[in-house]
């Protein structure tokens, strides 16, 4: 079987309650996909389905306690990774605190349209904590 792209709903938790959200009442349950199931899905998708692109969705996927681990594991396996986010403050967990990383350094984060607005996303970025240390030599940012 060949499934080039797979979407995985990692959580039904969300920091918003948009009236038009199709996840709707499931958000109140706040269910997270367990870590073992998440990593198992990635391995199966790669080896059994020849999947090469994964989109993490939710609720708000950046609220999943293991989203960082899932992104790293997906990259190590070889996937192209996408995170579909409402762009709220939780998205900043995916970014270093000193600067907003360029698209080539972060998995793409696609605003979901479920309540995130350009103004809210920008406010989240501008309100992030500021670093107290200098950037690495050469100006290169470490990979997530």
pLDDT digits (tens, 9 = 90+) for 14-39: 888 888 887 877 777 778 999 999 99
Please provide residue 139's backbone torsions phi and psi, each rounded to the nearest 5 degrees: 70, 5
What is the pLDDT, as a whole number, of residue 99? 31
pLDDT band at 8 (very low <50, low <70, confident <90, very high): very high
| pTM score | 0.67
Domains in the chain, start-ordered, CATH in brackets? 5-129 (3.30.750)
Q: What is the spatial distance between Cα 55 and Cα 17, in angstroms, rounded to a whole number?
A: 21
What is the pLDDT, as a whole number, of residue 93? 65
Q: What is the spatial distance between Cα 38 and Cα 73, in angstroms, rounded to a whole number?
A: 10
DSSP string, 105-135: TS--EEE-SSS--HHHHHHHHHTSPPPSSPP
What is the pLDDT, as a whole number, of residue 42? 97
Question: Which tens digit of pLDDT belongs to each residue from 73-114?
Answer: 999 999 998 888 887 777 766 654 333 344 444 455 555 555
Q: What is the spatial distance between Cα 51 and Cα 39, in angstroms, rounded to a whole number?
A: 14
SS3 89: helix
């Amino acid at each position: 079987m060949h499934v080039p792209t797979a979407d995985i709903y990692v959580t039904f938790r969300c920091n918003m309650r948009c009236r038009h959200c199709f996840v709707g009442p499931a958000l109140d349950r706040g269910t997270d996909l367990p870590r073992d199931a998440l990593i198992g899905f990635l391995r199966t998708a790669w080896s059994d389905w020849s999947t090469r692109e994964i989109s993490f969705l939710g609720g708000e996927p950046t609220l999943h306690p293991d989203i960082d681990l899932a992104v790293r594991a997906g990259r190590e396996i070889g996937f192209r990774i996408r995170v579909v986010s409402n762009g709220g403050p939780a998205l900043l967990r995916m970014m270093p605190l000193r600067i907003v990383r360029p698209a080539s350094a972060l998995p793409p984060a696609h605003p979901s349209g479920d309540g995130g607005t350009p103004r809210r996303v920008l406010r989240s970025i501008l309100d992030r904590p500021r670093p107290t240390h200098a950037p690495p030599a050469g100006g290169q940012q470490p990979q997530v």
